[in-house]
């Protein structure tokens, strides 16, 4: 049975970030194992697929702390301006870098690029062992350790097991941590778009009667589309040819980027809120999508997960003499309670507020957008949470 300080189930964004953070914060002193079911070729890996994600200002600061940002920055596109609007109505607001005196509000990166960079960095980390393809088959919690049997037959022993194995976490199922679900009755259609006008670092969130349309700036003047629709509408647009798809998207989004000229391959996935009230158990902690999976509105999910990772890594280092102890895990739980609750409530309320065309909610959201654009005291708290500048 091989001994480790920390075993991480899941080697995608949350798990790999945690492994690299622990490696660098401990200067290689901690022994870490990562158990990952999928080969990291970044073509078929579901955690490093064709999607893009927006890294908030706060997430960039965390990645700098872990000495990871310098490798990611060359493949990242800066968000310098965010425009939020309500289709066919007056409400709109703009967020610019000078609102916070920062050089960028965030950055957009392609998951495939992150996967490649992380794989290279993990190979260089002598204190990190990668079990791949492999998965956690059995968990046996002891007083001072956790024993983990892998599907391959390998047996590991760790002071702490961390579940970073996605929304439907098999580790959490084995431990017995309850999963709560809420179906937003929407489907996200994702694709890369090219418009006739340069994006110039602008990101757009457009609220329609069906749901939000987000376009994020990418390299080579591409835009990453997340189009939230009712399931039947999503099925219809997924079956359209490129011309019809672009025409329908143009109708919903408008002409702020000129004509939408090209669309790449499309994918779709249902939108659900999944979260676990308990994010710890005996010598066990959860981070990222295993703890909570959010609606993509306002781009909060991944950034909330990175704050999980950062807080857990810091608690592990503070309690490095007894990793996985009750004291360290309770401290992690308390640190994450407020941020998790506030962010889950924010995204869920935004979905319900901006995904219908009822008169009362239409008036309310337009008044809200007006207030954000004209009342700094109203705008500042929401802006700080959106940018990930929050206590953790």
Give the chain's domain count.
1
DSSP 276-299: -S--EETTEEE-GGGTEE--SGGG
pLDDT of residue 372: 44
> 351: helix, coil or strand?
helix
DSSP 210-247: S-EEEEEE-GGGEEEEEEEE-HHHHHHHHHS-HHHHHH
In a domain? residue 379: no
pLDDT digits (tens, 9 = 90+) for 271-320: 999 999 999 999 999 999 999 999 887 788 999 999 999 999 999 999 99
In a domain? residue 6: yes
- Please give the Cα distance from 350 to 111 (Å, whole number): 25
In sequence order, the 6+-apart residues with CB closer than 8 A to the CB of 309 are: 14, 17, 18, 21, 62, 287, 288
Going by pLDDT thresholds of 50, 70 and 90, the confidence category of residue 382 is: low
H/E run at residue 157: strand 155-163
Q: 144: domain CATH number?
A: 3.50.50.60
In a domain? residue 294: yes
- Please give the Cα distance from 159 to 167 (Å, whole number): 24
In a domain? residue 175: yes
Strand partners, 141: 146
pLDDT digits (tens, 9 = 90+) for 204-240: 988 887 788 999 999 999 999 999 999 999 999 999 9
In a domain? residue 104: no
In a domain? residue 89: no
- Please give the Cα distance from 228 to 292 (Å, whole number): 19
Structure tokens belonging to residue 199: 């994006």
pLDDT of residue 206: 87
pLDDT digits (tens, 9 = 90+) for 64-95: 999 999 999 999 999 999 888 776 554 567 88
Pairing of strands 81-86, 280-281: unpaired
In a domain? residue 249: no
pLDDT digits (tens, 9 = 90+) for 346-377: 888 777 666 555 444 444 444 444 444 444 54
- Cβ-in-10-Å burial (0-12, 13-18, 19+) of 232 comes to exposed
pTM (two decimals) = 0.90
CA angle 120, 122, 127 (to 5 degrees): 145
Q: Which domain holds residue 326?
A: 2-64+110-181+272-351
In a domain? residue 26: yes
């Amino acid at each position: 049975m091989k001994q480790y300080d920390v075993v991480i189930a899941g080697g995608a964004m949350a798990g790999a970030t945690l492994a690299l953070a622990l490696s660098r914060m401990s200067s290689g002193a901690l022994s870490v194992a990562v158990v990952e079911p999928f080969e990291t070729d970044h073509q078929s890996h579901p955690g490093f697929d064709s999607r893009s994600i927006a890294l908030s200002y706060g997430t960039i600061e965390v990645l700098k702390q872990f000495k990871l940002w310098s490798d990611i920055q060359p493949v990242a596109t800066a968000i310098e301006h965010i425009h939020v609007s309500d289709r066919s109505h007056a409400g709109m607001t703009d967020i610019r870098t000078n609102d916070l005196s920062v050089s960028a509000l965030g950055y957009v990166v392609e998951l495939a690029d992150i996967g490649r960079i992380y794989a290279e960095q993990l190979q260089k980390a002598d204190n990190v062992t990668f079990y791949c393809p492999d998965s956690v088959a059995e968990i046996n919690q002891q007083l001072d350790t956790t024993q983990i049997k892998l599907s391959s037959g390998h047996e590991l022993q760790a002071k702490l097991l961390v579940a970073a194995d996605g929304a439907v976490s098999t580790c959490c199922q084995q431990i017995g941590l309850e999963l709560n679900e809420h179906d937003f009755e929407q489907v996200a259609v994702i694709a890369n778009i090219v418009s006739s006008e340069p994006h110039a670092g602008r990101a757009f969130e457009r609220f329609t009667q069906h749901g939000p349309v987000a376009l994020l700036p990418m390299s080579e003047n591409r835009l990453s589309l997340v189009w939230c629709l009712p399931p039947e509408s999503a099925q219809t647009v997924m079956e359209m040819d490129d011309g019809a798809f672009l025409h329908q998207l143009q109708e919903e989004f408008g002409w702020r980027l000129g004509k939408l000229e090209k669309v790449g391959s499309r994918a779709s996935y249902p939108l659900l809120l999944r979260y676990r009230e308990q994010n710890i158990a005996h010598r066990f902690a959860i981070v990222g999508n295993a703890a909570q999976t959010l609606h993509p509105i306002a781009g909060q999910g991944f950034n909330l997960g990175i704050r999980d990772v950062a807080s857990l890594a810091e608690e592990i280092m503070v309690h490095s003499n007894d990793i996985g102890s009750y004291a360290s895990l309770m401290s992690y739980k308390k640190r994450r309670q407020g941020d998790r609750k506030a962010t889950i409530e924010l995204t869920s309320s935004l979905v319900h507020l901006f995904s219908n065309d009822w008169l009362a909610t239409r008036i309310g959201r337009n008044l809200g957008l007006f207030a954000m654009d004209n009342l700094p005291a109203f705008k500042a708290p929401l802006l700080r949470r959106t940018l990930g500048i929050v206590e953790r």
